Amino acid sequence: MILSRPPLRPLNEMTVTFPALSENERFARLAVSGFLSQLDPNISELSDIKTAVSEAVTNAIVHGYRDEPGEVILQVRIFSGGRIVIKIQDRGCGMEDIAKAMTPLYTTSPEDDRAGLGFTIMETFMEKVKVKSRQGKGTTVQLERTIQGKKRL
């Protein structure tokens, strides 16, 4: 008989949905920052996480919806040991080739002066970056990291 390990339950979580407008990228960073303050992250950790979230939310707005109306779903989950999982989801156009999209300097919007470094930045500041996407259905970016802050739930 094979026993499977039950899925870990988060100690705390937050989900917020907001319009896919570029001005809401700042809101997303502040929401994540405020929620994670309970873990007492250091300035470097918080800055890294906010930067990664900013890139993921910007990708959802600019590339997922191509500046068309839509919603971004932001979920932050805290697990024991300071482990955090952040998901940014859109229901936009999706990606044809995830591996290609994650290649440094690749962009679908060169005319908008996009550098194509969003995923590279996310991978630099987070321990894990997972991407799921279906054309015509949208994209989910999952960012994972352990906070070394002082407080533990």
- Catalytic entry in 24, 114, 123, 144: 114
CB 143 within 8 A of CB 57: no
H helices present in 9-141, as ranges: 24-36, 43-59, 98-101, 118-125
CB 31 within 8 A of CB 16: yes
- Catalytic entry in 29, 45, 59, 77: 59
35, HSE (Cβ side, Cα atoms, 13 Å): 22
Please write down the long-range contacts of 1-8, taking CB distance under 8 Å and 24 or more positions apart: 8/79, 8/80
> Known catalytic residue: 24?
no
- Catalytic entry in 25, 29, 45, 55: 55
> Known catalytic residue: 123?
no
> Which residue type is seen at 107?
T
> Known catalytic residue: 26?
no
List the catalytic residues. 55, 59, 114
